[in-house]
């Protein structure tokens, strides 16, 4: 048997998990320790894991997260209104299956973006399509797309996303063009996909930030209905950590 030829064929067929598992088996005694059925199962499992890992990597890359964040690394030591039980319930991602929205509000530095990104990362792990964006930057990019005539394709891409994360929502007032774009996004996703919104601005103040009464009413009616909420408070975690470090010195 020409093992090198077998390895070449596995790579040519893009069976990278099987390729690596078979190559490793040639370098140790693993194959001899297994029955033929067990070894085939081992190769298949290796290919399965490899494809899943690559799919997750692609999903995370496509999500365009600002930084890495993981639910397992959330710090509950600081008092900020973050309930571990609530986070664990959110981590089950039932709100995505039920097409519900999630609002995460609170002062700067309390971990809103981190929690949203960690949930988005978990969603990628579970096979959901996720897209993260700073709200202001997304509005700017979609305005440019409108000028170029590509906005319909961009809105369709956002509509197909299982979980949309709009970070720093309402940090800037929406102009007439941004209001229309926001309305299109929310209308397309209403009761079909989930949206996570993080904001330093309380939900009750979003109406004024959106502006024009008719659109504000329509957007908030679609967003707020059955939405889940995480309301954080307190000083910036980064500031408190720095203060604690200085006190220890």
CATH of the domain at 87: 3.40.50.300
Q: Residue 61 pLDDT > 70, yes or no?
A: yes
Is residue 140 domain-shared with residue 34, that is, in the same domain? no
Q: Residue 31 pLDDT > 80, yes or no?
A: no
Q: Judge whether 245 lies within some domain.
A: no
Q: Residue 249 pLDDT > 70, yes or no?
A: no
Structure confidence by residue, pLDDT tens digits, 77-112: 888 889 999 999 999 999 999 999 999 999 998 999
| Alpha carbons 205 and 202: distance in angstroms, whole number | 5
Q: Judge whether 22 lies within some domain.
A: yes
For 88, the domain range is 71-239
Is residue 32 domain-shared with residue 9, that is, in the same domain? yes
Which is it for the CA torsion 142, 177, 112, 115, positive or negative? negative
Q: Residue 1 pLDDT > 70, yes or no?
A: no
| Alpha carbons 199 and 66: distance in angstroms, whole number | 16
Is residue 78 domain-shared with residue 58, that is, in the same domain? no
Q: Judge whether 247 lies within some domain.
A: no
Q: Residue 159 pLDDT > 50, yes or no?
A: yes
Q: Judge whether 246 lies within some domain.
A: no
| Alpha carbons 155 and 183: distance in angstroms, whole number | 11
Per-residue pLDDT, averaged over 155-173, amounts to 95
CA atoms lying within 13 Å on the CB side of residue 148 = 11
Q: pLDDT above 90 covers what percent of the chain?
A: 71
Is residue 160 domain-shared with residue 195, that is, in the same domain? yes
Q: What's the domain count of the chain?
A: 2
Q: Supply the pTM of this predicted model.
A: 0.84
Final residue before a domain boundary, out of 63, 79, 112: 63
For residue 153, name the pLDDT band (cuts at 50, 70, 90).
very high
Which residues, 6 or more positions from 207, have their beta carbon under 8 angstroms from its beta carbon? 216, 217, 220
For residue 196, name the pLDDT band (cuts at 50, 70, 90).
very high
Is residue 156 domain-shared with residue 212, that is, in the same domain? yes
Element (H, E) at 10: helix 3-12
Q: Judge whether 196 lies within some domain.
A: yes
Residue 153 burial (10 A CB sphere; 0-12, 13-18, 19+): exposed
Query: Are 144 and 175 within 8 A, CB to CB?
Result: no
């Amino acid at each position: 048997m020409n093992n090198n030829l077998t390895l070449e064929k596995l790579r040519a067929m893009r069976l990278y998990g099987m390729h690596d598992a078979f190559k490793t088996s040639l370098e140790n005694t693993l194959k001899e320790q297994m029955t033929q059925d067990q070894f085939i199962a081992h190769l298949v499992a290796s290919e399965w894991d490899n494809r899943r890992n690559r799919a997750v990597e692609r999903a995370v890359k496509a999500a365009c997260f600002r930084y890495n964040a993981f639910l397992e690394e959330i710090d509950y030591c600081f008092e900020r209104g973050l309930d571990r039980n609530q986070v664990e319930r959110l981590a089950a991602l039932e709100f995505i299956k039920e097409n519900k929205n999630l609002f995460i509000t609170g002062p700067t530095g309390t971990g809103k973006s981190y929690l949203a990104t960690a949930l988005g990362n978990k969603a990628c792990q579970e096979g959901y399509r996720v897209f993260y964006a700073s709200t202001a930057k997304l509005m700017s990019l979609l305005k440019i797309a409108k000028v170029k005539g590509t906005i319909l394709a961009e809105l369709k891409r956002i509509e197909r996303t299982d979980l949309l994360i709009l970070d720093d929502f309402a940090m800037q007032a929406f102009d007439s063009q941004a209001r229309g774009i926001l309305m299109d996004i929310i209308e397309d996703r209403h009761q079909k996909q989930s949206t996570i919104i993080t904001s330093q601005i309380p939900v009750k103040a979003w109406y004024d930030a959106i502006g024009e009464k008719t659109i504000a009413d329509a957007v908030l009616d679609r967003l707020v209905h059955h939405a889940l909420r995480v309301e954080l408070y307190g000083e910036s975690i980064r500031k408190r950590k720095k203060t604690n470090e200085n006190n220890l010195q």
